[in-house]
Amino acid sequence: MGGNRRYGHFQCSSCRQKWESSHVYVKKGTEKVEYGQECKRCKIVCFPYQVEPIRCSLCGQTDCDCQKDRHIDPTKAHRADLCMRCRAGKHCDTRNW
Ligand SMILES: [Zn+2]
Ligand SMILES: [Zn+2]
Ligand SMILES: [Zn+2]
Residue-range domain boundaries for the chain: 5-90
Q: State how far the Cα of 30 lies from the Cα of 6, in Å rounded to an integer.
A: 12
Q: State how far the Cα of 44 lies from the Cα of 41, in Å rounded to an integer.
A: 8
> Ligand 2 centroid vs 21 CA: distance in angstroms?
18
Q: State how far the Cα of 21 lies from the Cα of 29, in Å rounded to an integer.
A: 21
> Ligand 1 centroid vs 44 CA: distance in angstroms?
7
Query: What string of pLDDT tens digits covers the 97 residues of the chain?
Result: 458 999 999 999 999 999 999 899 999 889 899 999 999 999 999 999 999 888 888 888 877 878 766 667 766 789 999 999 999 999 887 554 4
Is-contact 55 64, C-beta < 8 A?
Answer: no
Proximal ligand: closest to the CA of 45: 1
Where are the strands (E) in 1-97, listed by range?
Answer: 5-11, 18-25, 37-38, 45-46, 50-53
